[in-house]
Amino acid sequence: MKRVATGLLAVLSLGACERPAPEPLTPAPRPEPVVVYASYEDQNYLPSLFAEFTRETGIPVSVRHRPEQQIVNEVIEKRGSPPADMLLTRSVHGVWRAADEGALRPLQSEKVASVVPDSLRGPDGYWTAIGFDTINVVCSAGNTRDCESVSMFDDLSEPEFQGQLCLSAPSLAVNRTLIAAMIADHGLRPAETLVRGWIKNLVLPPYDNEEALLQAVAAGKCRLAVVSGHAYREFGRPTVAAKWPQPGYFDVAAVGIGRHARNPESARRLVEWLVGTDAQTAQFEVTGLHPANPDIPGISAASPVTARERNAAVFGLFETEAVKLAERARWY
């Protein structure tokens, strides 16, 4: 028996010696980055946010920042290299136009459909909001009664506000959205009557940007003005106070997947991650955007509920009419 065991051991040892050495392990190929075309003003926010997505999934993200109109045109005209896997715009107008021009593909995500209300998603499934921002009336922080005197945006057309109102350029997304929402609510002619009343009540010509507009309010040059929530948080506080008049107008930050995306599956995973709890919480804490997902603990309940009940698609649907209305009303 001892002789047999010794022989078996010798055979096994010989086999072990004759077995070829294992080939070195080849590392798994690194996933290609998701290429995001974005129109966010803060160019540090998205890379830091997406770094967490990369840590969780191993999928890298490359962000290209451009002004909204430029970046949407690049997606539509396929001028970017590499092409956009994802288009992310600070206003719904960008993704709406890209979808309307056939430059996006359907999201086809059960997760997005299950957590984002229908009112904050594109009617044909080509885009989804990831957050929304209120459109506000602002006044000097030293005279908040001016803000309290406005209960609805319609009020700003009343004669009592003549020589008190300031606005920014009609080309800005906040104003295109506001006019489009008013067309949806009132109809074209009544909305135009209201906007003409605003123009009649202007104390100064429209400002080129919201930062300059808020500085004018703080300096007492304007008693009232209309600005986006983003601009108010960035440039208004603490010298300017804000109110969200009813019926509660807002704009949305939205995303879509490029029609010519090289990495559509990874892009879809990124979209789904953006509407999840961690990303929605970080978005609110860093940018102030209210979550599109209504189930974010400690945040969603405090956000304006009525915004999630309004159909964001109308902002894109009536954008062309909004631009024409502003021209007819001599908003320039």
Give residue limits of the domains in the chain: 34-132+251-303, 134-249+321-328
Provide φ and ψ at 274, rounded to 5°: -65, -25
Contact status, residue 134 vs residue 307, Cβ threshold 8 Å: yes
Contact status, residue 303 vs residue 160, Cβ threshold 8 Å: no
The tokens of 181 are what?
């929402």
Beta strand segments in 56-124, E: 61-65, 86-89, 104-105
Closest CA to 130 of 219, 255, 251, 258: 255
Q: Which fold has domain 134-249+321-328?
A: D-Maltodextrin-Binding Protein; domain 2 (3.40.190)
The CATH class of the 34-132+251-303 domain is alpha beta
Count of CB atoms within 10 A of residue 160's CB?
8
Closest CA to 290 of 275, 276, 280: 280
The tokens of 36 are what?
């995001």
d(CA 104, CA 126): 6
Give the predicted TM-score (pTM) of the model. Answer: 0.86
Q: What angle do CA 296, 301, 304 make, to 5 degrees?
A: 115
Question: What confidence tens digit (pLDDT) does each residue in 131-183 have?
Answer: 999 999 999 999 999 999 999 999 999 999 999 999 999 999 999 999 999 99
Closest CA to 89 of 57, 52, 122, 55: 122
The tokens of 86 are what?
């994802």
d(CA 10, CA 300): 71
Contact status, residue 55 vs residue 21, Cβ threshold 8 Å: no
Query: From first to last of its 332 residues, what are the pLDDT tens digits of the chain?
Result: 444 334 433 433 434 445 555 665 656 677 899 999 999 888 899 999 999 999 999 999 999 999 999 999 999 998 768 899 999 999 999 999 999 999 999 999 999 999 999 999 999 999 999 999 999 999 999 999 999 999 999 999 999 999 999 999 999 999 999 999 999 999 999 999 999 999 999 999 999 999 999 999 999 999 999 999 999 999 999 999 999 998 889 999 999 999 999 999 999 999 999 999 999 999 999 999 999 999 999 898 878 877 778 899 999 999 999 999 999 999 99
